[in-house]
């Protein structure tokens, strides 16, 4: 499909023009250069080997231009179509809220370009399936930004499990409690608790990371059920979710997420036949391994740009020298689990 006519290219007032490209560089464009791209992800595309950030887009052109200027990105747009059909953009990172993931992913696939999409992958599992099918039809790679799959501290947990440090895994318990924020108590507008934009509440935003990471560590979840409710009535979305699930390995799991709690807690326990591993998904606290009466801790800090390790793996795969652990199919499975915990079919 050819590029639309009359696309206006906006260049920033930087002296850094587009470099001469080789087959060893993936040139990225970002749709939705908001807060998540400021530190977590955006600089990662600039610092990863074989990667370059050449264009950004935001519907507010002034904000897009400001981002491009501050981050020294050569081009900016206020229309997604213009970025998608920029001939200097090889692959596209979709960093908008979930309600527009499907629309933009399908458009990027039609343009024949690889898609790297923020989590959760879409509003629900059926939308994830549409994205997967579109990318497969267009023969373009699809990745989901579940970056914890590539962070050193969680790779250490995976290594401990692989080494059999706690024996055969029997089960998992997940707990995430948070006090309501000042903004939520005031009834402030927050897209993360608007089901029409986010696909749910904080469970979808934060619980998705926990569920996806567990599937990376322990393998696919084969069945899941759950209950959800809005106990605090501070916003439209659910604020309390409990779920039970089983892995293909035979291990069992239970989870409880409360965003109307009187304390903050972030704890995951992986229980084995010979010990257990305890870790936090969001807080940077030590990994604790308990076995045979002994306790060992591993304190592994996150990198400055937490998405950079995963971005590197995506770039490596696109260049044919590696493999990303987070794909469209793995991202879709997390949506599938969440849908079942939220009582969706």
Alpha-helical (H) ranges within 72-141 are 80-84, 101-110, 125-138
Task: Establish if 31 belongs to a structural domain.
Answer: yes
Q: What percentage of residues in the chain have a pLDDT greater than 70? A: 93
Reply yes or no on whether the pLDDT at 13 is more than 70. Answer: no
CB 177 within 8 A of CB 152: no
Do 292 and 168 share a structural domain? yes
More confident: 189 or 4: 189
Q: In the numeric block, which tokens belong to residue 152?
A: 């050193």
Residue 173 in domain:
yes
Q: Note if the bond before 320 is cis, omega within 30 degrees.
A: no
* Residue where one domain finishes, among candidates 112, 147, 182: 147
- In this structure, how many other beta carbons lie within 10 angstroms of the beta carbon of residue 306? 16
Give how many domains the chain has, as a whole number.
2
Q: What is the CATH number of the domain that holds 19?
A: 3.40.50.720
Has residue 233 been placed in a domain? Answer: yes
Say yes or no: 141 and 182 in one domain. no
Token pair 């972030």 in the structure block, residue: 266
Same domain, 37 and 133: yes
Contact present, 144 and 331 (Cβ < 8 Å): yes
Q: Are residues 85 and 66 part of one domain?
A: yes
Question: Is the model's pLDDT at 67 over the cut of 80?
Answer: yes
pLDDT of residue 24: 86
Are 82 and 171 in a shared domain? no
Q: Are residues 158 and 295 in the same domain?
A: yes
- State the pLDDT at residue 22: 44
Residue 171 sits in the same domain as residue 135: no
Q: What pLDDT is stored for residue 227 in this prediction? A: 97
Q: Which domain holds residue 25?
A: 10-147
Q: For residue 11, is pLDDT > 80?
A: no
Q: Are residues 281 and 224 in the same domain?
A: yes
Same domain membership, residue 97 and residue 206? no
pLDDT value of residue 59:
96
Strands 275-279 and 75-77: unpaired
Which carries the bigger pLDDT value, residue 19 or residue 117? Answer: 117
Q: Could you give the CA distance from residue 25 to residue 50 in angstroms, rounded to a whole number? A: 4
Backbone angles phi, psi at 236, to 5 degrees: -75, -30
Please give the pLDDT value at position 21.
43
Residue 18 counted as domain residue: yes
The whole-number average pLDDT for the span 164-178 is 98
Q: In whole numbers, what is the pLDDT of the chain averaged over residues?
A: 94
Residue 345 has a pLDDT of: 72
Look at residue 198 and tell me if it is in a domain. yes
Q: Any idea how long the chain is?
A: 345
Which are the contacts of 204, defined by CB distance < 8 A and separation ≥ 6?
Answer: 98, 120, 198, 237, 338
- Per-residue burial over 146-177, b if 16 or more Cβ lie within 10 Å, else e, is bbbbbbebbbbbeebbeeebbeebebbbbbbb
Tell me what pLDDT residue 207 has.
Answer: 98
pLDDT tens sequence across 22-41: 458 999 999 999 999 999 99
Strands 287-291 and 294-298: antiparallel
Report the pLDDT averaged over residues 289-303: 96
Give domain status of residue 345, yes or no: no
Per-residue pLDDT reduced to its tens digit, 48-61: 999 999 999 999 99
Q: Which of 91, 120, 147 is the last residue of a domain?
A: 147
On whether both 164 and 114 belong to a single domain, the answer is no
SS3 103: helix
Q: Residue 183's pLDDT is what?
A: 94
Task: Please check whether residues 29 and 58 belong to one and the same domain.
Answer: yes
Instruction: Sheet containing 10-11: give its strands across.
Output: 10-11, 75-77, 51-57, 26-31, 91-94, 115-117, 142-144
Q: What is the pLDDT of residues 193-250, one digit of tens each?
A: 999 999 999 999 999 999 999 999 999 999 999 999 999 999 999 999 999 999 999 9
Residue 108 and residue 171 share a domain = no
Of 8, 16, 3, 18, residue with least CA distance to 77: 8
The pLDDT assigned to 8 comes to 55
The CA–CA distances, whole Å, from 190 to 45, 90, 239 equal: 28, 33, 14
Q: Distance (Å, rounded) from C-alpha 57 to C-alpha 91? A: 13
Four-residue CA torsion sign, 187, 188, 193, 197: positive
Q: What is the CATH number of the domain that holds 268?
A: 3.30.360.10
**Which DSSP category does 242 fall into?**
E
139 part of a folded domain: yes
Q: For residue 155, what are its two tokens?
A: 């790779």
Dihedral angle, C-alpha 226, 342, 245, 124, nearest 10 ° = 170
Which among 147, 173, 191 is the end of a domain?
147
In a domain, 316, yes or no: no
* pLDDT confidence of residue 20: 40
């Amino acid at each position: 499909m050819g590029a639309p006519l009359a696309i206006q290219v906006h260049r920033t007032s930087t002296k850094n023009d587009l470099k001469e490209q080789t087959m060893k560089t993936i040139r990225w464009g970002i749709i939705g250069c908001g807060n998540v791209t400021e530190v977590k992800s955006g600089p990662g595309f600039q610092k990863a080997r074989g990667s370059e950030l050449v264009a950004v887009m935001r519907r507010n052109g002034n904000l897009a231009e400001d981002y491009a200027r501050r981050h020294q990105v050569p081009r900016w747009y206020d229309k997604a179509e213009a970025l998608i059909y920029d001939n200097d953009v090889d692959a596209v990172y979709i960093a908008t809220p979930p309600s527009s993931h499907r629309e933009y992913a399908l458009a990027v696939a039609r343009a024949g370009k690889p898609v790297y999409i923020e989590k959760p992958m879409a509003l629900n599992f059926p939308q994830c399936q549409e994205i997967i099918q579109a990318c497969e039809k267009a023969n373009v790679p699809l990745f989901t930004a579940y970056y914890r799959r590539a962070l050193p501290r969680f790779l250490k947990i995976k290594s401990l499990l692989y080494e059999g440090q706690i024996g055969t895994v029997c089960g998992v318990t997940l707990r995430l409690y948070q006090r309501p924020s000042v903004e939520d108590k005031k009834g402030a507008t927050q897209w993360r608790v608007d089901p029409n934009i986010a696909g749910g509440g904080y469970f979808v935003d934060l619980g998705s990371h926990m569920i996806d990471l567990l599937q990376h560590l322990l393998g696919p979840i084969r069945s899941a059920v759950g209950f959800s409710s809005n106990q605090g009535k501070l916003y439209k979305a659910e604020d309390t979710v409990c779920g039970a699930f089983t892995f293909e390995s035979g291990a069992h799991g239970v989870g409880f997420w409360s965003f109307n709690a009187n304390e903050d807690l972030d704890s995951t326990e992986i229980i084995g036949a010979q010990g257990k591993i305890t870790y936090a998904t969001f807080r940077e606290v030590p990994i604790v391994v308990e076995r045979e009466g002994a306790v060992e801790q591993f304190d592994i800090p996150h990198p400055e740009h937490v998405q950079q390790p995963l971005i590197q793996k995506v770039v490596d795969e696109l260049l044919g020298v590696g493999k990303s652990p987070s794909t469209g199919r793995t991202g879709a499975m997390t949506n599938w689990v969440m849908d079942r915990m939220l009582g969706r079919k």
